[in-house]
Structures are given as structure tokens and as C-alpha cells.
Amino acid sequence: MSSSLKALLGRFQVIPSIELAAVVATDGLLIESTAEPDVDVDAICAVASNGLAMAESLGREIDKGGAIQTMLEYEDGIVVIEPISREAMLLLLANTRDDLGYVRFLVAKHREDMLDALSAI
């Protein structure tokens, strides 16, 4: 996998609450990730692709267009899913809701770099 993509994902780990930063194919297969040791990356990526598919379907059903970002907020954390291209998405898992603003800032800041790194693979 691309060391450039891996380095970009590592930039999300400046946020202590980030447990997983991954680029995932829209079919749920892992492309690249950085994660805490106890995180089941493959299982989470597979399920997250269903979350993006659901968000896309809902957008079409309500005539709002494609998903720009899907954020799921839970009692003990957040999941952010953002399409990077037609074939891949960024997936972030954090163990607290406190860093949501900073997470979204970093996603916007590094989105184009991730797209470039992904296209180089």
C-alpha cells in the first residue's frame, strides 16, 4: 500500500481519541489504515461501507444528492465516513465526541491530499 496514504492517515492520530483512521473501498475492503492494537479493522471497515451505502440511498430517496460526510454519534464516540472518490471512503473512529470539530477540520484539510495519494496507488 501507499506509504503516502499511510502517512496521511497518521495525521489523524494527533487527536488522542482516534482509534482508527482508514481508507476503505466502497465494497468494504481495507485499502490502508492506522489503528489502535485492539481494533478489529477489517470487521469495522466492512460494516462501515454499509453505512455509506445507506447514507447514499437516503440522499437519493429524499432528493438531497450524494453524501458528503456521514457522522454517527454514539454515547462513547463517533464514526465519520467521508467519500474520497467513487471507489473509496475515509473512515474515522474516535472514542469520544469531544473532538468532533477538530476531526472534521482535519478531514477537510487533508481530503485533497488523500485523493491524490489514493489516485497514485
Please state, as a whole number, how many other Cβ atoms lie within 10 Å of the Cβ of residue 22: 24
| Residue 99 DSSP label | T
CA distance 80 to 104: 8
Q: Count Cβ atoms within 10 A of the Cβ of residue 62 and give its class: 0-12 exposed, 13-18 middle, 19 or more buried.
A: exposed
CA distance 4 to 7: 5
The confidence score (pLDDT) of residue 1 equals 44
CA distance 23 to 26: 9
Q: What are phi and psi of 4, to 5 degrees?
A: -65, -45
Q: Domain boundaries in the chain?
A: 3-119
The confidence score (pLDDT) of residue 51 equals 87
13-57, pLDDT tens digit by residue?
999 999 999 999 999 999 999 999 999 999 999 999 888 889 989
Average model confidence (pLDDT) for the chain? 91
**What mean pLDDT do residues 111-118 have?**
90
Q: Which CATH superfamily is domain 3-119 in?
A: Dynein light chain 2a, cytoplasmic (3.30.450.30)
The pTM of this model reads 0.91
Q: What are phi and psi of 46, to 5 degrees?
A: -60, -45
